[in-house]
């Protein structure tokens, strides 16, 4: 396959290739053991949205698992821009992956002399468009979130099996997402999104200590979107009962953006459709990213 004028491309270890020509070794520890770090990043109007925040988190994750990228941060930024330009896509989704690299069989990362670097530029449509207008039904997973003392959810590693098994519960229930509770019974996050509630016009979201990923879109809502609308967000522990009693519930994520929740475990949330605060936040999100898509 040859590269098309507009379409998916892969930057892999210094080369831009078509997706079906991108290959990694079967001895790569990212494949064998889930040993690596990844980021999902949006591109709006050709601009890489919150690139600095994503790379900050990527570098922190690599440091946490003692993984040294094979490229510098400057080189990686250049690779992201080169891949986006090569794709010809103005609006796209980037999957950035740093693997431990090719090594021998066995867990030791010391047997992998060079980390692998992969940049995928493609499109993504996580949820059906009608759910952004009508709200999304979700469930509560029976499987709890892995405690941070065992595997810190703040590290966006290639090991996502905890999330995937909760996602399977959602699929079995005929929905797209599931709320995950931590082992103390507090609300943590969903399988791929952060969660917010609105009650009496007040917005709240679980804190990092609840065992969540430090979502870039979550932080964008807290620091930028909510203040722009004269709203504040409280980061505090919350029980499931509080979420079920909320006027509105919405989810955030790089791929999901901002999406309202209509019901949880078949129980209607608020009016059973996307609430007014969620609608305002979603509209402000799209206004900002279409106007400037800040890269910081």
Cα-to-chain-centroid distance, residue 295: 16
Rounded Cα–Cα distance for residues 212 and 187 (Å)? 9
Alpha carbon separation from 201 to 147, 213, 237, 271, 280 (Å, rounded): 31, 25, 18, 14, 12
Catalytic residue among 156, 167, 199, 232, which?
156
Question: Could you identify the residue written with the tokens 């290959």?
Answer: 23
Angle, to 10 degrees, between the axis of helix 51-64 and the axis of helix 73-87? 130
Q: Is residue 142 annotated as part of the catalytic site, yes or no?
A: no
Give catalytic residues, as residue numbers: 156
């Amino acid at each position: 396959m040859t590269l098309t004028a507009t379409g998916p491309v892969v930057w892999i270890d210094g080369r831009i290739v078509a997706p079906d020509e991108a290959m990694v070794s079967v001895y790569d520890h990212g494949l064998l053991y889930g040993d690596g770090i990844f980021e999902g990043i949006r591109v709006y109007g050709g601009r890489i949205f919150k690139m600095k925040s994503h790379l900050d988190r990527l570098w922190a994750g690599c440091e946490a698992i003692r993984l040294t990228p094979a490229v510098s941060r400057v080189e990686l930024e250049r690779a992201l821009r080169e891949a986006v330009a090569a794709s010809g896509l103005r609006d796209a989704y980037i999957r950035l992956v740093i693997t431990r690299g090719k090594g021998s069989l066995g867990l030791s990362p010391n047997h992998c002399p060079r980390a692998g670097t992969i940049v995928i530029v493609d499109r993504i449509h996580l949820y059906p468009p009608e759910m952004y207008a009508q709200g999304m039904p979700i469930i509560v997973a029976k499987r709890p979130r892995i405690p941070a003392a065992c595997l810190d959810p703040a590290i966006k590693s290639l090991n996502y099996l905890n999330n995937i098994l909760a996602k399977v519960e959602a699929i079995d229930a005929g929905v797209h997402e599931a709320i995950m509770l931590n082992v103390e019974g507090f609300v943590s996050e969903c399988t791929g999104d952060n969660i917010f509630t609105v009650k009496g016009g007040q917005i709240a979201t679980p804190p990092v200590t609840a065992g969540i990923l430090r979502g870039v879109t979550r932080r964008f809502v807290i620091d930028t979107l909510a203040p722009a609308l004269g709203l504040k967000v409280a980061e505090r522990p919350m029980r499931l009962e509080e979420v079920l009693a909320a006027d509105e519930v919405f989810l955030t994520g790089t791929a999901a953006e901002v999406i309202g929740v209509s019901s949880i475990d078949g129980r209607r949330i608020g009016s059973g459709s996307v609430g007014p605060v969620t609608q305002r936040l979603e509209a402000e999100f799209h206004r900002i990213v279409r106007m400037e898509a800040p890269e910081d």
